[in-house]
C-alpha cells in the first residue's frame, strides 16, 4: 500500500520513424509522455528544438466531420484495419471525392433552404402588418405617394404630433419597444419626411418583391411556396440519405483512422528534435518495464533508455496509488482531494479504515447495513465500481456495529435473546441508555485520530527533512506533546480522578511545546541554518510584528485543536440521531393499522437509509478532509495519464 | 415597526437588483467588442438588460436609441421600486421624475433660445414625456423665452422662469437660467426631505451635498482652468448646496490656479482618486462619489437613502455604457475606453 514505482524512459529514433514510435507508445497504454524542453544553448542544428509542424489531418478531419453531419451519419469508433488511406493528402482527396459526389444534391438543398428562410423572414415581417387589406404592389406603385414600411420606437410615435409636415403614420402592431406600421407622404416632401422619421429612429423594413396581394393573400401564397420548397428539400435529403447508406461504412472507417492519425500527430508537439533524430521522454510504471520493452523489441529503429524517475529534473514523476482489494475503492476520495507526491505518503489505507469504522459507528444497523451491502454489490457491478466497493465495505461495518447496538431495521430489542443466549451481558449497547458513553467515546476517537494524523505528519516531515514541520509545528512533535498532554490531562482528571496536571508536567508538556510552536520559524532556522531568522518569507520582519503575527497564529492553533476535537462529537451524535429516527418509524408503525405496518416499515427504513446514509457519508468525508488530511497531507501530486490516440468528433 | 419592516423589504429588493448590475468584467468584455451591434448583442445577453432589449435587432438599432432604451430601463426600475412600496405619490420619491424634468427644462430653454426646438423634440426621452406633468411637446412650439415663460404659467416653474436674467443688451443669460433651474430642483428636494424624514434626512442631505459638491467642483475647475473666471464669479455660478462646506468651497474658488486647485481637491474628502498630475479632475471625483454612494447603499437600512444611492449608481452605469458605445463606435483602443470608465 504505497505508491507505484515509476521509471523514466527516453526514446530515441530517426525522424522518419516518429509516427510509428508514437503509435507504439499509444498502443502500450502505459506511457505518459512529457513535453521536451527546447535548449537555448547551441545554435541552429546543435540545439534541441520542438516539432511544431501543422497537423495535416486537421483539414480533412473538419471536412469529413461536416460531410458526416450533412449526411446525418452519427460517427462512432469503428475498426479501420481495412482502410487504405494513410497521409493527410489521401484523406483530403477522399473528402474531396465525397464532396464532389454530394455537390449537386447539397447545392439544391442549400438553395431551396435559402428560399425557405427568405420566405419565412418575409412572413415574420408581414405578420407585423396584420390588418392591411390593400395590395402591397398597389401601395408601392403609387405615383404621387411615397410609402415606407418599418418600425418606430413607441416613444417616437407620440412625438409625431409635433410635426406640421404632410404625412401620416399607420400603426399596425406594438411590441415592447416598437410600433410596426407604414408612413405615407407626398413624393415631393419625401426627403424632409424621411429625415424626420430617421431622426425619430424609424427602422425601414424592405418588403421583398415576391410578396404580392394584401397581407392575408401574401400569407397564403408564401405559406404555399414554403410547403412546395419543403418538398424539394425532402427530395434532396432522400438523395443524400441513399448516398449515406452506400458510403456510411467507408466514412466511419476513414474517420476512425483519421482520428487516430490526427491524435498521434498532435503528440509531435511534445517531441524534441536534433538534426535527424527525435527524442521522446516520459514515464512508465516500473512493473510494465518488460511489457513496454516488448512493444519495441521487433522495432530496431527506436532506442529505449530506462532511468530512475528523478533522472530528469524538468519532469515530475506522476503518481499511481498502489492499493489492496480492501482499500482500492477509497482511492476515489484521495483522488478527489488530490494525489500525493510521487515520493509522498499514500493515505488510502488510513482513509479506508477510518471511513469504514466511522460509517459503521454512525450508521449501525444489521438490517440496513445488509441492504447497503447488497446495493453496493449491484452498483459496483452495474454503475460505479469504486462507489459500489465503498458501499459494500461500509455495509459490512454497519452490520457489525448494528449487531453491537442490537438494531435490526430499527427494532432495538430483536437481538437481546441472542446475546442473553450466549451469555454476553454488556451487549447490546442501546444508544439511548448509554448517551454519555457514546459521546465521550466519539471525542476519544477524535483525539486518537488527530494524534495519529500528527504522528503521520512527524514521519512525513522527517522523511522530507523538514525540521519545522516535524518538530516545531502545531502538527509536529511540539503540537503532539501540547495537544496530547492537555487531552490526556483533562481525561485523567475528569474521568479517572487522577491529578497529573502538576507544575513540572505543565511546564514540560504544555509550556515548552507552546513556546516551540510560537517560535517555530526561528527555532527551525537555528537548527537547520544555524542563524537567527524571524520569518521565512519576509526579510525585514521586526520582533513586534513577529509577536503579533505568531500570537494570532497560536490563538488559531489552540482554537483549531478544540474545534477539531469537538467536531468528532458528530460521530456520537449520529448514533443517537439514527436511533432517534428509527424510534420515529416504530412510533409511526404503532399508530397505523396492522395492514399498513409493513408499508410504514419499508418506507421509513428506505427514507432513513437514503437520507441519513447520505448525510453520514458526507459528514465522514468532511471529517477526513478537514480534521485529518489538513494535519499531514497535501495533495499536490500529478496524476498518471498514459498517452492515447482516442476517438473524438469534437472540432476545436 | 411595520414601517421599518417594509423599508427593509425594499432595501433588500434594491440590493438584489444592485447585485445584477454589470460588473467590471462585463464592461471589460464590452470594450473589446468591434461594433455597436456587438455591444448591443452583449447587452441583450446580460441578465440586467435582456428583457428590455428583447425585441431589439442589434444590427439595425441606432446607438442613440440604444442608449435611450438603457436609460429608460433604469427609470422603469426606479418606478417599479416606488410602485412596489406604494411610494409613487409621496413627497421626495418623485425625485428622479423631477430631476429628468429639470434636465429637459434646461435643454428646452437652450433649444428655444437657439431656435432648435426640433432637435429638442427628437432628443427628449419618451419616459420623461409620459412621467412628467409638463407637456414638453406643447412647450417646444414656443418661439421665445418670453413665450415659454407665459406658457408655464400655473406650473411650479413659472416663478423660476420669471426671475431669469437678461443682459444689458437684452440677451438671455443661459448659464444663469441653468443654475436657477438646478437650484430650484435641489431646493425642492431638500425641503421634501426635511419635511418627510426624521433620522434619515441627514444621510439623504449628505448624499445630495456630495452630488452637488462634485458638480460644483467640476464646474469651478473648468471655469478656473479654461475660462479664467474670478472667484466671485465662480461662486455665483455654483449650486448653493454642499457637504464639504461653503468655506472649503470658497477656498477652492480662491485658489491661485488650476494646479493649486487640483492640490486642494487632492487634500479634500473627494481627493482619494485625484492627483495633481491628472489631466482632468472629473473622473477621480465621480469615482469617489460613486464609492460613497455604494458604501451608503451597502450600510443603510433606510429605503429613501438606498433608492437615492442606487439611482446614482444606475446613472453612472448608463454613463459607462454610453462611453463604451461611443468608444467602440469611433474605434478607440479598448484599454483607453476601459480607463475612462467610472467603476
Contact (CB, 8 A) for B330 and B225: no
Residue of A nearest to B122 (CA): A200
Task: Report yes or no: B197 at the A interface, CB cutoff 8 Å.
Answer: no
Which pLDDT belongs to residue A502? 84
Please tell me if residue A177 touches chain B, with a CB cutoff of 8 Å. yes
Q: How far is residue A446's CA from residue B270's CA, in Å, rounded to a whole number?
A: 55
Least confidently predicted of A7-11, A47-51, A68-72, B308-312: A47-51
Letter string b/e over residues B73-97, b meaning 16 or more CB atoms within 10 A of that residue's CB: bbbebbeebbeebebeeeebbbbbb
Q: Render pLDDT for A144-173 as a digit per residue (tens, 0 to 9).
A: 898 888 888 888 888 888 888 788 898 888
Mean pLDDT, to the nearest integer, of A368-373?
94
Asked whether the beta carbons of residue B57 and residue A155 sit closer than 8 angstroms, the reply is no
Element (DSSP H or E) covering residue A123? helix A88-127
The partner residues of A285 in beta bridges, in order of sequence, read: A6
Grid coordinates belonging to B134: 409638463
| pLDDT computed for residue A40 by the predictor | 59
Would you give the DSSP letter of residue A275? T
Q: What is the DSSP letter of A468?
A: I
Under 8 Å CB-to-CB from B172, ≥6 apart: which residues? B113, B145, B164, B166
Distance of CA A595 to the CA centre of its chain: 47
Q: What is the mean pLDDT of residues A424-437?
A: 80
Mean pLDDT value across residues A565-590: 90
Which of A132-136, A541-545, B15-19 has the lowest average pLDDT? A132-136
The three cell numbers locating residue B115: 431656435
Tell me how far CA of residue A360 lies from CA of A606, A614, A616, B110, B140, in angstroms.
18, 13, 10, 83, 84
Kindly identify which residue of chain A lies nearest to residue B142, measuring between CA atoms.
A162
Q: What is the DSSP letter of A411?
A: B
Q: Which of A159, A161, A201 has the CB atom closest to B62's CB atom? A: A201
Higher-confidence residue: A48 or A31? A31
A568–chain B Cβ distance below 8 A for any pair: no
Collapse the DSSP code of A321 into the 3-class scheme (helix H, G, I; strand E, B; otherwise coil) and give the result.
strand
Return the pLDDT at B279. 73
Which residues in chain A have Cβ-Cβ distances shorter than 8 Å to B65?
153, 201
**What is the Rg, in whole angstroms, of the alpha carbon atoms belonging to chain A?**
39
Q: Which DSSP string corresponds to A10-79?
A: EEEEEGGGHHHHHHHHHHHS--EEE------SS-GGGS-EE-----TTHHHHHHHHHHHHHHTPPP----
Quick one: pLDDT at residue A44?
A: 56
Distance of alpha carbon B273 from alpha carbon B278, whole angstroms: 10
Judged by CB atoms closer than 8 Å, whether chains meet at A159 and B125 is answered as no
Task: State whether residue A61 sits within 8 Å of chain B by CB.
Answer: no
How much is the average pLDDT of A18-25? 87
User: Which stretch of A92-96, A214-218, B45-49 has the lowest confidence by average pLDDT?
Assistant: A214-218
Q: Are B317 and B67 in contact (CB under 8 A)?
A: no
pLDDT digit string, tens, across residues B287-326:
999 999 999 999 988 889 999 999 999 999 999 999 999 9
Q: Which grid coordinates are listed for A366?
A: 444489521
Angstrom distance (rounded) from CA A264 to CA A262: 5
ipTM: 0.82
- What residues are paired with A7 via a beta bridge? A284
Return all residues near B237 (Cβ < 8 A) that are at least 6 apart: B175, B179, B219, B220, B223, B229
Listed in sequence order, the residues at least 6 apart from A647 whose beta carbon sits closer than 8 Å to its beta carbon are: A77, A256, A259, A260
Interface test with A, best of B126, B138, B139 (most A CBs within 10 A): B126
Cell 523538514 sits at which residue?
Answer: A466
- Residue B1: pLDDT band (50, 70, 90) is very low
Average pLDDT over residues A532-548: 81
Q: For the beta carbon of residue A218, count every other beta carbon within 10 angstroms.
A: 21
Q: What is the pTM assigned to this prediction?
A: 0.59
At A32, give phi and psi (nearest 5°).
-100, 115
- Would you place residue B101 in the very low, low, confident or very high pLDDT band (cuts 50, 70, 90)? very high
pLDDT, mean over chain A: 87
State residue A282's pLDDT score.
Answer: 92
The C-alpha of A375 sits at a distance from chain B's nearest C-alpha, in angstroms, of: 44
Tally of CB atoms within 10 A around A586: 17
Could you write out the DSSP letters of every residue in B60-103? Answer: T--HHHHHHHHHHHHHHHHHHHHHHHT-TTSSSTTHHHHHHHHH
Q: Which residues pair with A41 in a beta bridge?
A: none
A162 at the B interface (CB within 8 A)?
Answer: yes
CB atoms within 10 A of CB B114: 11
| Residues B46-93 pLDDT 10s | 999 998 998 888 888 888 889 999 999 999 999 999 888 787 778 888
Residues of A whose CB is below 8 A from B60 = 203
Which chain A residue has the Cα nearest residue B138? Answer: A162
How wide is the angle at C-alpha B123 spanned by C-alphas B118 and B129, nearest 5°? 100
Yes or no, beta carbons of B55 and A200 under 8 Å apart? no
* Alpha-helical regions (H) of chain B: 2-19, 24-31, 36-45, 63-85, 95-114, 117-123, 126-131, 136-139, 145-151, 158-162, 174-196, 201-227, 231-236, 246-253, 258-267, 282-299, 303-329, 334-339
Residues of B in contact with A162 (CB under 8 A): 121, 137, 140-141
The CA distance from A380 to A389, in Å, is: 6
d(CA B323, CA B22) in angstroms, rounded, equals: 14
Segment B181-187 mean pLDDT = 91
pLDDT over 80 at B43, yes or no: yes
Check whether A38 has a pLDDT greater than 80.
Answer: no
B102 touches B239 (CB < 8 A): no
Least confident window among A44-58, A256-270, A457-471, B57-71: A44-58
What pLDDT score does B97 carry? 92
pLDDT at B111 over 50: yes
Question: Using one digit for the tens of pLDDT, what is the confidence trace for A475-505?
Answer: 999 999 999 999 999 888 888 888 888 888 8
Reported confidence tier of residue B2, pLDDT bands at 50, 70, 90: very low
Q: Is pLDDT above 50 for B188?
A: yes
The answer to whether B114 contacts chain A (CB < 8 Å) is no
* Residue A84 pLDDT level (bands cut at 50, 70, 90): confident
Whether pLDDT at B4 is above 70: no
Report the pLDDT value the prediction gives residue A41, as an integer from 0 to 100. 58
In the prediction, which pLDDT does A454 show? Answer: 94
Report the SS3 class of residue B269.
Answer: coil
Amino acid at each position: 500500500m504505497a505508491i507505484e514505482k515509476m521509471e523514466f524512459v527516453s526514446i530515441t529514433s530517426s525522424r522518419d520513424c516518429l509516427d510509428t514510435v508514437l503509435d507504439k507508445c499509444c498502443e502500450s497504454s502505459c506511457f505518459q509522455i512529457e513535453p521536451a524542453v527546447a535548449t537555448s544553448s547551441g545554435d541552429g542544428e546543435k540545439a534541441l528544438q520542438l516539432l511544431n509542424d501543422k497537423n495535416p489531418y486537421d483539414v480533412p478531419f473538419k471536412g469529413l466531420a461536416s460531410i458526416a453531419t450533412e449526411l446525418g451519419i452519427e460517427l462512432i469508433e469503428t475498426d479501420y484495419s481495412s482502410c487504405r488511406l494513410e497521409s493527410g493528402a489521401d484523406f483530403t482527396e477522399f473528402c474531396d471525392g465525397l464532396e464532389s459526389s454530394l455537390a449537386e444534391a447539397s447545392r439544391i438543398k442549400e438553395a431551396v433552404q435559402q428560399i425557405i428562410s427568405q420566405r419565412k423572414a418575409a412572413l415574420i415581417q408581414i405578420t407585423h402588418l396584420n390588418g392591411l387589406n390593400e395590395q402591397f404592389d398597389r401601395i408601392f406603385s403609387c405615383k404621387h405617394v411615397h410609402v415606407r414600411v418599418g418600425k418606430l420606437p413607441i416613444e417616437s410615435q407620440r412625438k409625431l404630433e409635433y410635426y406640421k409636415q404632410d404625412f401620416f403614420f399607420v400603426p399596425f402592431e406594438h411590441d415592447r419597444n416598437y410600433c410596426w406600421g407604414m408612413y405615407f407622404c407626398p413624393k415631393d416632401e419625401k426627403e424632409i419626411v424621411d429625415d424626420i422619421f430617421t431622426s425619430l429612429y424609424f427602422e425601414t423594413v424592405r418588403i421583398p418583391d415576391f410578396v404580392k396581394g394584401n397581407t392575408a393573400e401574401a400569407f397564403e401564397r408564401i405559406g404555399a411556396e414554403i410547403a412546395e420548397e419543403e418538398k424539394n428539400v425532402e427530395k434532396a435529403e432522400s438523395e443524400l440519405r441513399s448516398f449515406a447508406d452506400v458510403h456510411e461504412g467507408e466514412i466511419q472507417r476513414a474517420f476512425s483512422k483519421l482520428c487516430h492519425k490526427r491524435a498521434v500527430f498532435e503528440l509531435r508537439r511534445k517531441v524534441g528534435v536534433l538534426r535527424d533524430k527525435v527524442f521522446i521522454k516520459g514515464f512508465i510504471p516500473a512493473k510494465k518495464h518488460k511489457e513496454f520493452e516488448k512493444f519495441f523489441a521487433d522495432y530496431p529503429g527506436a532506442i529505449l533508455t530506462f532511468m530512475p524517475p528523478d533522472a530528469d529534473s524538468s519532469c515530475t514523476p506522476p503518481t499511481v496509488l498502489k492499493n489492496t482489494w480492501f482499500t482500492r475503492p477509497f482511492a476515489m476520495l484521495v483522488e478527489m482531494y488530490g494525489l500525493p507526491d510521487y515520493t509522498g505518503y499514500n493515505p488510502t489505507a488510513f482513509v479506508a479504515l477510518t471511513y469504514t469504522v466511522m460509517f459503521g459507528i454512525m450508521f449501525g444497523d444489521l438490517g440496513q447495513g445488509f441492504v447497503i451491502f447488497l446495493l453496493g454489490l449491484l452498483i459496483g457491478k452495474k454503475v460505479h465500481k469504486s462507489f459500489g466497493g465503498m458501499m459494500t465495505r461500509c455495509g459490512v461495518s454497519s452490520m457489525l456495529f448494528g449487531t453491537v447496538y442490537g438494531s435490526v431495521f430499527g427494532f432495538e430489542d430483536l437481538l437481546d435473546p441472542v446475546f442473553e443466549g450466549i451469555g454476553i451481558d454488556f451487549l447490546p449497547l442501546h444508544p439511548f441508555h448509554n448517551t454519555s458513553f457514546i459521546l465521550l467515546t466519539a471525542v476519544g476517537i477524535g483525539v486518537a485520530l488527530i494524534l495519529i494524523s500528527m504522528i503521520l505528519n512527524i514521519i512525513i516531515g522527517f522523511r522530507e527533512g523538514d525540521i519545522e514541520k516535524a518538530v516545531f509545528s502545531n502538527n509536529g512533535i511540539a503540537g503532539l506533546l501540547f495537544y496530547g498532554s492537555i487531552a490526556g490531562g483533562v481525561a485523567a482528571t475528569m474521568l479517572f480522578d487522577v491529578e497529573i496536571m502538576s507544575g513540572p508536567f505543565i511546564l514540560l508538556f504544555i509550556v515548552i511545546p507552546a513556546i516551540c510552536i510560537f517560535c517555530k520559524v526561528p527555532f527551525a532556522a537555528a537548527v537547520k541554518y544555524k542563524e537567527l531568522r524571524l520569518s521565512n518569507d519576509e526579510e525585514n520582519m521586526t520582533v513586534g510584528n513577529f509577536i503579533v503575527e505568531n500570537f494570532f497564529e497560536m490563538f488559531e492553533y489552540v482554537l483549531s485543536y478544540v474545534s477539531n476535537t469537538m467536531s468528532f462529537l458528530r460521530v456520537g451524535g449520529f448514533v443517537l440521531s439514527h436511533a432517534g429516527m428509527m424510534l420515529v418509524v416504530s412510533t409511526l408503525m404503532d399508530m397505523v393499522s396492522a395492514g399498513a405496518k409493513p408499508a410504514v416499515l419499508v418506507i421509513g427504513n428506505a427514507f432513513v437509509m437514503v437520507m441519513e446514509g447520505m448525510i453520514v457519508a458526507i459528514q465522514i468525508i468532511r471529517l477526513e478532509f478537514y480534521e485529518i488530511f489538513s494535519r499531514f497531507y497535501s495533495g499536490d501530486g500529478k496524476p498518471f495519464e498514459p498517452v492515447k490516440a482516442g476517438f473524438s468528433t469534437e472540432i476545436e | 415597526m411595520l414601517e421599518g419592516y417594509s423599508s427593509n423589504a425594499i432595501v433588500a429588493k434594491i440590493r438584489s437588483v444592485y447585485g445584477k448590475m454589470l460588473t467590471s468584467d462585463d464592461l471589460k468584455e464590452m470594450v473589446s467588442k468591434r461594433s455597436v451591434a456587438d455591444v448591443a448583442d452583449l447587452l441583450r445577453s446580460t441578465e440586467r438588460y435582456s428583457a428590455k432589449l428583447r425585441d431589439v435587432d442589434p444590427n439595425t438599432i441606432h446607438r442613440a436609441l440604444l442608449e435611450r432604451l438603457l436609460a429608460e430601463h433604469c427609470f422603469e426600475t426606479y418606478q417599479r421600486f416606488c410602485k412596489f412600496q406604494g411610494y409613487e405619490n409621496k413627497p421626495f420619491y418623485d425625485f428622479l421624475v423631477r430631476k429628468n424634468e429639470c434636465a429637459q427644462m434646461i435643454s428646452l430653454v437652450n433649444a428655444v433660445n437657439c431656435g432648435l426646438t426640433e432637435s429638442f423634440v427628437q432628443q427628449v426621452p419618451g419616459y420623461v414625456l409620459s412621467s412628467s406633468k409638463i407637456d414638453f411637446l406643447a412647450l417646444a412650439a414656443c418661439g421665445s423665452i418670453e413665450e415659454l415663460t407665459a406658457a408655464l404659467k400655473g406650473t411650479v416653474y413659472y416663478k423660476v422662469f420669471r426671475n431669469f436674467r437678461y443682459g444689458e443688451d437684452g440677451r438671455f443669460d443661459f448659464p444663469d437660467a441653468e443654475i436657477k433651474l438646478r437650484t430650484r430642483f435641489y431646493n425642492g428636494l431638500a425641503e421634501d426631505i426635511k419635511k418627510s424624514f426624521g433620522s434619515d434626512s441627514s444621510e439623504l442631505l449628505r448624499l445630495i451635498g456630495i452630488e452637488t459638491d462634485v458638480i460644483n467642483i467640476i464646474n469651478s475647475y473648468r471655469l478656473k482652468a479654461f475660462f479664467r473666471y474670478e472667484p466671485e464669479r465662480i461662486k455665483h455660478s455654483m449650486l448653493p448646496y454642499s457637504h464639504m462646506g461653503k468655506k472649503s468651497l470658497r477656498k477652492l474658488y480662491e485658489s491661485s490656479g488650476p494646479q493649486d486647485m487640483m492640490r486642494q481637491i487632492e487634500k479634500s474628502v473627494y481627493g482619494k482618486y485625484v492627483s495633481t498630475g491628472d489631466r482632468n479632475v472629473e473622473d477621480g471625483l465621480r469615482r469617489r462619489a460613486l464609492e460613497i454612494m455604494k458604501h451608503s447603499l451597502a450600510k443603510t437600512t433606510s429605503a429613501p437613502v438606498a433608492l437615492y444611492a442606487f439611482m446614482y449608481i444606475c446613472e453612472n452605469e448608463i454613463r459607462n455604457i454610453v462611453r463604451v458605445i461611443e468608444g467602440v463606435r469611433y474605434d478607440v483602443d479598448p484599454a483607453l475606453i476601459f480607463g475612462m470608465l467610472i467603476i
